[in-house]
Amino acid sequence: LADESAQQTGLSRRRFLAGLGVAAAGAVVGGGGVAIADAANAAPASGTVPFYGRYQAGITTDQQDRLCFAAFDFVTSSRDDVIAMLKDWTTAAEAMCAGRATGSVAGDVNAPPDDTGEALGLSAANLTLTFGFGSSFFSQGGVDRFGVAGRKPAALVDIPPFKGDELDPGISDGDMCVQACADDPQVAFHAVRNLARIGRGTVVMRWNQLGFGRTATTSRTQSTPRNLMGMKDGTDNLRAQDTDLLNQNVWVGSNSDQAWMTNGTYLVSRRIRMLIEVWDRAGLGDQESTIGRTKLEGAPLGKTHEKDPVDLNATNAAGLPQIPAKAHIRLAAPSTNNGKHILRRGYSFTDGMDQLGTLDAGLFFIAFQNDPRTHFIPIQQKLSQNDALNEYIQHTSSALFAVPGGWNKGEYIGQRLFAA
Ligand code: HEM
């Protein structure tokens, strides 16, 4: 974010350039030497992802490298308070995603500044803010809190317990979630901090999770990162270019039980701790057969290259399956899950050490799908029973949120949920 004076200069420059018909920085127009120099100086516009659109940003957006995820609970029983806060969040979110502050940091010396200020001078860093509603938002203890209990989608179920779960309810669920992703950790942190400030008195933060390092790819142009087990992660993921598969598996169509969810999706989060010390003592062969891929290249076992197609029927010289029966990729593959694909968008995390001095680190798993009842839940049911990976992981938090379709300009976050 630039300071306010620079922002105004940036804006007026952009308007000036738009008037000239210059679409992007560095575009060459006839005799446009001055315009080119100006465009190069208009840094605040770089690295922004549109806040408005058919779908919310932060799902098929090229996955950014940093995460600040927060779940909030409402502390009001007033529907009007909820809507007023969502309107304020919309204004702030639009500004921050465009690389602007949420308000002035100068002015009245007797009042706190409107924006906390730590993102001034930073670019928008491709910030996206993705919002979702949890089951408890619609009704809690049988109480229709905000007059929308009848609008709870059938797919917003309680995630059932799975074998081996060690869930902490204090860091699970929540009335609303905000997924802030950016290529700068301070930009993501700033966004959640300022939404929390704006919401003070209406919401409290229930839990939050920082993530460093993406563990997936959401675009064909991105390289595959590695997770904290040192394995390439995100090789076989749904990506922005997979339009048909996204329509079948990720985006809610106009035929769902709740019209306000059209073009929306469901976000499942699972904080999965890795038992890193145990993993680090496992032999390379065990590590590779646990996942079903080689460590260095990330190739399916029995193949050479990362992108070689997985053949679950392939056998080795001894007639045994190349990809073992309990390998993670065999049990998670769409071909063994009724053809269901999920869009993974998780992050590595580390929260220091526990009281025994072992690392509290792992993967904050995030997945998007158009119905968790047919996607995440049955897949995880199977993984929790048989996945060889279970020896090395422990699920410590769980949440499910209904993520509405994208916002139109002039509309506030969640407006269609409340509209008559
Ligand atoms: C800490 C926990 C986990 C780790 C370390 C992990 C790691 C991996 C790795 C290394 C791959 C292979 C590379 C790739 O294709 O992306 C993979 C694939 C996959 N994982 Fe996970 N994963 C974890 C949890 C989960 C969970 C909870 C689910 C879903 C419930 C899941 C679903 C998948 C799917 C669908 C694939 C692609 C399978 C294929 O089509 O070949 N993973 N995972």
Model pLDDT for residues 195-204, shown as the tens digit of each residue: 999 999 999 9
> Are the C-beta atoms of 99 and 126 separated by less than 8 Å?
no
- Is 379's C-beta closer than 6 angstroms to any atom of ligand 1? yes
For residue 207, the CA-to-ligand 1 centroid distance in Å is 25
398 bridge partner residues: 270
DSSP secondary structure, 222-283, as one string: SPP-B-TTS-B--TT---TT-HHHHHHHTS--TTSS-GGGTT-EEEEEEEEEE-HHHHHHS-
pLDDT of residue 2: 41
Task: Kindly tell me the burial class for residue 18, based on how many C-beta atoms sit within 10 Å of its own C-beta (0-12, 13-18, 19 or more).
Answer: exposed
Question: Is 145 a pocket residue for ligand 1 (Cβ < 6 Å)?
Answer: no
pTM for this prediction: 0.90
Rounded (to 5) percent helix, strand, coil in the chain = 30, 20, 50
- With a 6 A CB cut-off, is 114 part of the ligand 1 pocket? no
Candidates 397, 365, 376; CA nearest to 266 is 376
What pLDDT does residue 420 have?
Answer: 78
pLDDT in tens, 236-255: 999 999 999 999 999 999 99
**CA gap 245, 342 in Å, rounded:** 9
Q: Which two tokens stand for residue 341?
A: 């694909």
Q: Centre a 10 Å sphere on the Cβ of residue 160 and count the other Cβ atoms it contains.
A: 10
How far is the C-alpha of 201 from the C-alpha of 247, rounded, in Å? Answer: 39
- Compute, in angstroms, the gap from residue 221 CA to the centroid of ligand 1: 20
Q: What pLDDT is stored for residue 44 in this prediction?
A: 39
Question: Which residue bears the tokens 């994208």?
Answer: 406
Atom of ligand 1 nearest to the CA of 310: 41
Residue 38's pLDDT is: 33
pLDDT at residue 46, rounded to an integer: 59
DSSP assignment of 65-102: SEEEEEEEEE----HHHHHHHHHHHHHHHHHHHTT--S
Phi-psi group of 167: left, alpha or beta (phi > 0 → left; psi -120 to 50 → alpha; rest → beta): beta
Ligand 1 touching residue 181 (CB < 6 A): no
**Is the distance from CB of 60 to CB of 239 less than 8 angstroms?**
yes
The CA-based diameter of the chain, rounded to the nearest angstrom, is 78
Residue identifier of the C-alpha nearest atom 25 of ligand 1: 365
Mean pLDDT by 10 residues, the chain (420 residues): 39 32 32 32 64 98 98 98 98 98 94 95 97 98 96 98 98 98 98 98 98 97 97 97 98 97 98 98 98 98 98 96 98 98 98 95 98 98 98 98 98 95
- The structure tokens 């080119």 sit at 36
| 137 close to ligand 1 (CB < 6 Angstrom) | no
Question: CA 265, 267, 268 angle in degrees (round to 5)?
Answer: 140
Residue labelled with tokens 């992981």: 393
Q: Is 376 in the pocket of ligand 1 (CB under 6 A)?
A: yes
